[in-house]
Structure 1
């Protein structure tokens, strides 16, 4: 059984909107949110390194903490694809096929 993450996120957003707990971002804001989540993931990764001293009480986030930030960026990416009328699976297949072709892999 394959998980359709874009559909799962779409369903959750619908439920949050119905509960008046979510405001749909426009495409510009969605991409800004996605970039923010990536920056938060980078911050978590930097704080996982013992060689850096950070000005943050939570100086050692877990791999799961980092993974949650990565997922937040993925979620914003799925919303952006919805706003563009694109399907994640189709975009991924096309992108990966292009990469395979570029690398000479059939």
Structure 2
């Protein structure tokens, strides 16, 4: 994958990531990286992060999400992340918390 090419990733974040400010923190990091998409709580305790933009920037966000220990004051406790990649979508604008 071309690191400068546009891509979309769906990242499922496992751990203690609900009710601790994790979605807000993720949104702030994504906006700093120039990404669009969303972060939303799933019914099973995970957080779904959809990030779209330059593949290299998405990888930077993934590193921040998975960083152990977090040097960036990430709230919560991330155990693992599972990511699937796909083509960018035309309908994504901004980065929101759902």
TM-score normalised by the shorter chain: which range applies?
under 0.3
Which of the pair has more CA radius of gyration?
1
State the TM-score, normalizing by the size of structure 1.
Answer: 0.24
Between 1 and 2, higher relative CO (CA 8 Å, sep ≥ 6) is seen in 2
- TM-score computed with the length of structure 2 as normaliser: 0.25
Query: Higher helix fraction: Structure 1 or Structure 2?
Result: 1
Relative to its length, the structure with more strand (as a share) is 2
